[in-house]
């Protein structure tokens, strides 16, 4: 059995090897490098699941035909779970092999599911499992994963820190204090990275990437279709 690789010392990590990950609403993840990865399209699978469930509802409960149809319903549900799990495996593997430091939101998913009108999509996203996979694979690959409090990451300006409230449908960040403008999710991802680096950089020398990891410019947005992740195994492949 191979030994688990040691995580690189913070003083040896380059700024370009650090990334912040915003767990998205319009996308699955949005990184501080302005990479936006789409949510996996499972509409066909859910349509099939609904059809099979309707067929089950028409069967006599407990009959042989009901049991046969129940198994079909269970199979379609397993297919959905398997595809989501495979997608998460590929994304998390890419993150921990591409970067030395990954900062991510420490989301409390249960209240989100209880209050959101889009609860099914958040359940599909399965953020808790995504973060668990990320931490597990980070240990295997010697990567630092830092979970940060998500409160305020969307409101705070990544440049000056001034908070600006914005409703969910406003997808651009525009700071009234310093004039900085950014994609809403990109601004949040930069704040997540900044918080993560401050947490792991506490007590270390100025040679850590804490003050230098955030770009001084807005990188060009790259949108990645989920199908590309499924087929290639990573957004960058």
- 156 conformational bin, left if phi > 0, alpha if psi -120 to 50, beta if neither: beta
d(CA 102, CA 193): 8
Cα 178 versus chain centre, distance: 28
d(CA 10, CA 232): 31
d(CA 69, CA 131): 35
Q: Where are the alpha helices (DSSP H) in the chain?
A: 43-58, 64-98, 109-115, 119-125, 127-141, 184-201, 226-232
185 noted as active-site residue: yes
Q: One of 33, 52, 124, 185 is an active-site residue; which one?
A: 185
47 noted as active-site residue: no
Q: What angle do CA 195, 207, 106 make, to 5 degrees?
A: 20
Q: One of 33, 38, 100, 105 is an active-site residue; which one?
A: 105
- The catalytic residues are 22, 105, 185
């Amino acid at each position: 059995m191979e030994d688990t690789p040691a995580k690189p010392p913070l003083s040896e990590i380059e700024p370009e090897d650090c990334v912040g990950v915003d767990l998205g609403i319009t996308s699955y993840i949005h990184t501080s490098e302005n990479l936006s990865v789409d949510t996996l399209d499972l509409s066909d699978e859910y349509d099939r699941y609904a059809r099979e469930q309707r067929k089950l509802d028409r069967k006599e409960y407990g009959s042989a035909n009901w049991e046969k149809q129940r198994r079909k319903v269970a199979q379609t549900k397993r297919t959905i779970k398997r595809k989501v799990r495979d997608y998460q495996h590929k994304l998390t593997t890419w993150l921990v092999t591409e970067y030395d430091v990954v900062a991510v939101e420490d989301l409390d998913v249960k209240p989100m599911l209880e209050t959101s009108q889009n609860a099914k999509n958040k359940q599909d996203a399965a953020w808790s499992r995504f973060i668990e996979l990320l931490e597990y694979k980070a240990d295997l690959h010697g990567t630092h994963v830092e979970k940060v409090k998500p409160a305020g990451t969307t409101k705070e300006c990544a440049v000056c820190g001034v908070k600006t409230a914005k409703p969910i449908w406003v997808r651009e960040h525009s700071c009234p204090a310093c004039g900085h403008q950014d994609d809403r999710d990109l601004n949040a991802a930069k704040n997540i990275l900044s918080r993560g680096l401050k947490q792991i950089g506490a007590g270390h020398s100025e040679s850590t990437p804490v003050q230098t990891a955030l770009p001084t410019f807005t990188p060009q947005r790259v949108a990645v279709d989920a199908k590309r992740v499924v087929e290639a195994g990573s957004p960058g492949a």
